[in-house]
Amino acid sequence: MARKIGVYAVIAYVLYGLFIYWYLFYFADTSLPFEYEGSQADPAVFLNARELSLSEEYSKVRNLLFFLSTPLEWLFYLLILLVGLSKAFKRWAEQSTRFKFFQTAIYFIWLSFFAFVATFPLSYISYSLAKTYNISTQTFSSWMKDELIDFWINYGIMVIVVSVLYWLMNKSRKRWWLYAWMLTIPFTLIMVFLQPIVIDPLYNDFYPLKDKELEQKILALADKADIPADHVFEVDMAEKTNALNAYVSGIGGNSRIVLWDTTLNRLNDNQILFIMAHEMAHYVKKHIYVGIAGYLLLSLAGLYATARIMNWAISRWGNEFKVDHVKDLRSLPLFLMILSMLMFAASPLTNFVSRYQESQADLYAIEMTKDPQAAITSFQELTRAGLSQVNPPLLVKIFRYGHPTMLERISALEEYEIKMRNENID
C-alpha cells in the first residue's frame, strides 16, 4: 500500500507539472487589453523589443519554478514517511543520546539535510536563471553562503519550535494546537522585532545613507507622515542583484527605513521619494500590525486544521507512514506537509489582502508627493530591472502576487494624473 501511495503521488506531481507548463506556456494570455495599448502601462512604450521578449521568457520559467517547488516539498515529506526515513531518523537520534531535546535536534538535522538536498536542484536552477537573465549578479560562492545561512537560521529556530511543539503534543493530546498557537503570539512579535537588527545584517551590510541631501528629503517626508526616524539606511545589494527595492521594517524603536543601493543607482530623487512615501504608508496605516494580526488568525485556523487532518491521516494511513500517533516525532514530516498545503491554499486570500494594502500605499504615496510622472516612471524602471510581466496570468496573480500588477498600478497612476490635470484646469 505504501508503494502504491508513493507511485500515485509521483504520477500526480508529474501530471500537475505538465498542466502548469501547458497553462503558462500555451494557454495563459498575457497580452495587454486593447484599451491600454499605447498607454504608459503598455510595456511596448517603455521597454525595447529585446526587453519585452526577455521579460516574457524569464517570467514564464520563474513562475513554473514557483508552482513546481511547493508541491515538490509535499512530495518529499510524503516519501520520507512512506520509505521509512522518518522512522530511521528517530532511531538514529535515540541511539545517539537519551536527552529529548538533543534527540529532536539530531532528528531534525537529518530531515533538514535531506530536504536541502531534495530541493537544491530547483533552487540552483532559479539562481542560474536569474544569472542568465542578468537579474542576479551574485557569485555562486556568495549564493551558497546565503543558502547556508538560511539553512542554519531555519534549523536553529525550528529545533526550538519543534521541541516545544512535540512537548505540547505529549502534554495535551487534544489541545496542543491551541497552546502552540498561544506561544506563536510572543514568538511572532519577537521575530518581527529582531529581523532588522539581528537577522537581516547576517546577509548584507547596512550603513547610513551616503547621500545626505537625499536623506534629509526622505526624513522630511517621514516627518510629514509623523514617522519617528533619525536615519535612513542603505544596503549593499549591487553585488547580488540588479533588482530594485526599498522598505520600512521592524516595530517600535528598532524600525528602519532602508534603500537598496541598486535603487539609488537607477532612480532619481523624485522617484525614490515616491517609493519611500509608499513604504512609509505601510507604517502610517499600521499594515505591519494588520499583517501580524492576520497571520495569527490564520495560524490559529491552520494549527486547528492541521491537528484534525493529522489525526485523520494517521488513523487511516498510520501503518504506511510508520507512525503510531500524532505525538510521535516521526509524524513531523506529516505536520510540515499539511501545514505547507494549508499555507499554499490560503495564499490567494493573503495575497488579496496584501494587494489591497499595496494599492492603499500607492494612493497614499501619490497624494503625498503629487508627482504622478515620478511614480509612473519608477514603476516602469522596476519592471525593466526585474523583467516583470505587466499583465501576468490569472493563476500567477492569485498565488504569487502580493502587489497589484504593474498594469493596475501604472493605469491607476495615469487616472490620478488625469484627475490632477482636470482639477488644475478647473
Q: Which residues are catalytic?
A: 279, 362
**Dihedral angle computed from the Cα positions of residues 14, 17, 22 and 23, in that order, rounded to the nearest 10 degrees:** 140
The DSSP string of 357-392 is HHHHHHHHHHHHH--HHHHHHHHHHHHHHHT--SS-
Question: Does 94 show up as a binding residue in the annotation?
Answer: no
Q: Is 358 annotated as a binding residue?
A: yes
The answer to whether the beta carbons of residues 258 and 234 sit under 8 Å apart is: yes
CB-based contacts of 276: which residues, under 8 Å, 6+ apart?
218, 221, 222, 246, 257, 259
Q: Which of 108, 154, 150, 160 is nearest to 127 (CA)?
A: 150
CA dist 118 and 418 (Å) reads 52
Residue 218 near residue 117 (C-beta atoms within 8 A): no
Asked whether 85 and 6 are in contact (CB, 8 A), the reply is no
Check the annotation: does 403 bind a ligand. Answer: no
Look at residues 252, 297, 318, 362 and name the one whose alpha carbon lies nearest to residue 87: 318
Q: Is the dihedral of CA 17, 22, 28, 31 positive or negative?
A: positive
Name the binding residues: 278, 282, 358
Q: Residues at the annotated binding site for Zn(2+)?
A: 278, 282, 358
